Amino acid sequence: MSEEVTAPHKKSARPRRGEELELRITALAQGGRGIARTPEGFVVFIGGGLPGDVVRARVGKAKRSYAEASLIELVEPSPERIPDTCIHGGEPCPGAAWQGLPYERQLEHKAEQVADALVRLGGFDAAEIETKSEPIVEAVEQWRYRNKLEYSFGAPTAQDAPALGFHARGRWDEVVDVDDCKLASEANNAARNAVREWAAAEAVPAFDTASGAGVLKNLIVREGRRTGQIQTRLVTTEAEIPRPPVDLHTIVAAQSSGTDGPTGALGAEYLSERLGDLDLRVSPTAFLQTNTETAERLYAVAREYGALGQGERLFDLYCGIGTIGLSMAADAGEVWGIESVPEAIVDAEANADLNGITNAHFHAADARLGIRPLIEEAGKPDVVVIDPPRAGLSAKIVRRVLECEAERIVYVSCNPTTMAPNARQMVEAGYTLTRVRPVDMFPQTPHIECVALLERQGG
Ligand SMILES: C[S@@+](CC[C@H](N)C(=O)[O-])C[C@H]1O[C@@H](n2cnc3c(N)ncnc32)[C@H](O)[C@@H]1O
């Protein structure tokens, strides 16, 4: 669990930039970095270290109350560590920073981080949060759960094919080839490997940031887990490239002209997926929860907290392709969704049709600007669901949400550190935080999703 970083220490105790330290990691901070203390008690955050590890680390930034350091060597691994499962080029997968922790410990740390954020960043009472916290929901699968992965192209490997994989930790100029990433399905891995083989066979070069030469920048592989569909999206400097294998349904997004929109769809333009009872289509630029199977558990918690009654009105803010609102539509009188990506709204409307849902309406709008007109059009809602990106809501958007005067606000968050101050603002305006439940959407990583219920006092 994260701990106070403002412990008193002598000014001279601050480590210098570039200094190498051997430290024992004692805890995990919000965001997943290890926390260690120098013998003088100065707090140092170290990426990649787990509690119990003794590491050698080089100091980067050194602030007044804490320093940041990068791990150079694992001197003595924590006795709790388990062997890495996902390894690329001899290094642990950068997308699975917590894979050395047994799954049970990951869950404990995540539950603690949600509670800790509410207490320290939201100003809630620790005992109150303990009583309101419900047990963390486990992921359906601990590995091979991601329905989407983004890869980078890099300088050719020995086989003369461009490297296609992930950037090595802290090295933006170097791409480590990935053969089998255990966060993705076998089908996703096969698609990536097929794109690499195609690039080698057709001699399409990787883009080189230093010289500005080359063509291939990134590859995004998305998978309909329930439909078996695979979609690959190539981000390139040119639209005119040799045709990738037809079965990969490749979309080419060329960025050379200053636009990053898809310039040529060689396969289906959207992917089909099934989530809960819903058949869904999702456009390449629209958001879809990256863990399809566990998203069903997340939405079940949101639905339970929303507790919509027939005849009640729901606002689904940050609705993406409409998944949360549509999954609650049968319980509700009306559903109204707002989302800033227009393609996602086209998908949301199509998804309502696809599932025979007639009481859901969607508008492409920025949440900040769209809430007041929606109240004018639809009337005030009984329940508001908010599911913002990691940055959470600005204080102004919280004020707009409060103007809805909903009986219940269901806050779905992928970042408890931004949810906590938003929840505080809602409590100051007359809501009570009544329930909170973490959901592990991202095993092997420090990321944590959670759902909180805020109820209007006297409501
Ligand atoms: C975490 S996703 C949630 C999407 C959806 N609720 C789901 O579960 O699939 C956040 C969504 O907010 C949208 N978004 C980001 N900024 C926004 C804004 N200022 N106003 C409205 N929507 C926004 C994103 O495009 C994205 O679809």
For the segment 48-86, what is each residue's pLDDT rounded down to a tens digit?
889 999 999 999 999 999 999 999 999 999 999 999 999
Ligand 1 center to 423 CA (angstroms): 18
- pLDDT band for 459, please (50, 70, 90 cuts): low
| pLDDT at 245 (0 to 100) | 79
| pLDDT at 258 (0 to 100) | 47
Q: Kindly report the average pLDDT of the chain as a whole number.
A: 92
Find the mean pLDDT for residues 272-294: 96
> Which one of 318, 369, 387, 414 would you pick to mutate in the ligand 1 pocket, going by the greatest count of ligand atoms within 8 A of its CB?
318
Ligand 1 center to 341 CA (angstroms): 8
Where exactly are the structural domains of the chain? Answer: 11-81, 148-271
Is-same-fold flag (11-81; 148-271)? yes
Q: For 130-156, what is each residue's pLDDT tens digit? A: 999 999 999 999 999 999 999 999 988
414 part of the active site: yes
CA distances 162 to 121, 176, 208, 249, 369, Å, are: 45, 10, 11, 21, 45
* CATH for 148-271, options being 3.40.30.10, 1.10.1070.11, 2.40.240.20, 2.40.50.1070: 2.40.50.1070
- pLDDT band for 265, please (50, 70, 90 cuts): very low
Q: For 87-122, what is each residue's pLDDT tens digit? A: 999 989 999 999 999 999 999 999 999 999 999 999
Q: What percent of the chain has pLDDT over 70?
A: 94
The fold adopted by the segment(s) 11-81 is OB fold (Dihydrolipoamide Acetyltransferase, E2P) (2.40.50)
Number of residues that this document lists for the chain: 459
- pLDDT band for 248, please (50, 70, 90 cuts): confident
Ligand 1 center to 106 CA (angstroms): 27
Q: Is 288 helix (H, G, I), strand (E, B) or coil?
A: coil
| pLDDT at 18 (0 to 100) | 94
Q: Which two three-digit tokens encode residue 121?
A: 């960043």
Reported pTM:
0.93
Tell whether the model's pLDDT for residue 266 goes beyond 50: no
Alpha-carbon distance 192 to 201, whole Å?
A: 14
Identify the weakest region by mean pLDDT among 28-42, 319-333, 350-364.
28-42
Residues 6+ apart with CB under 8 A from 366: 340
Q: Is 54 helix (H, G, I), strand (E, B) or coil?
A: strand
Q: Which helix (H) or strand (E) holds 114?
A: helix 103-120
Ligand 1 center to 395 CA (angstroms): 17
User: Which residue's CA lies nearest to atom 26 of ligand 1?
Assistant: 320
- pLDDT band for 256, please (50, 70, 90 cuts): low
| pLDDT at 254 (0 to 100) | 76
- Tokens 């699975």 locate to 96
| pLDDT at 4 (0 to 100) | 44
User: Which residue's CA lies nearest to atom 18 of ligand 1?
Assistant: 366
Ligand 1 atom having least distance to the Cα of 367: 20
DSSP character at residue 153: E
Residues 6+ apart with CB under 8 A from 401: 317, 371, 384, 386, 393, 409, 426
Residue in 86, 319, 404, 414 annotated catalytic: 414
Amino acid at 151: Y
Q: What percent of the chain has pLDDT over 90?
A: 82
Alpha-carbon distance 393 to 335, whole Å?
A: 21
- Sign of the four-CA dihedral 37, 42, 43, 47: negative
| pLDDT at 1 (0 to 100) | 45
Identify the weakest region by mean pLDDT among 93-107, 253-267, 443-457.
253-267
Identify the weakest region by mean pLDDT among 236-240, 252-256, 424-428.
252-256
Ligand 1 atom having least distance to the Cα of 299: 8
> Which one of 222, 287, 419 would you pick to mutate in the ligand 1 pocket, going by the greatest count of ligand atoms within 8 A of its CB?
287
Q: Which two three-digit tokens encode residue 345?
A: 């709204």
User: According to the 3-state scheme, what is the secondary structure of 374-409?
Assistant: HHHHHCCCCEEEECCCCCCCCHHHHHHHHHCCCCEE
Q: For 376-433, what is each residue's pLDDT tens digit? A: 999 999 999 999 999 999 999 999 999 999 999 999 999 999 999 999 999 999 999 9
Pocket of ligand 1 (CB under 6 A): 287-289, 318-320, 323-324, 338-341, 344, 366-367, 387-389, 414
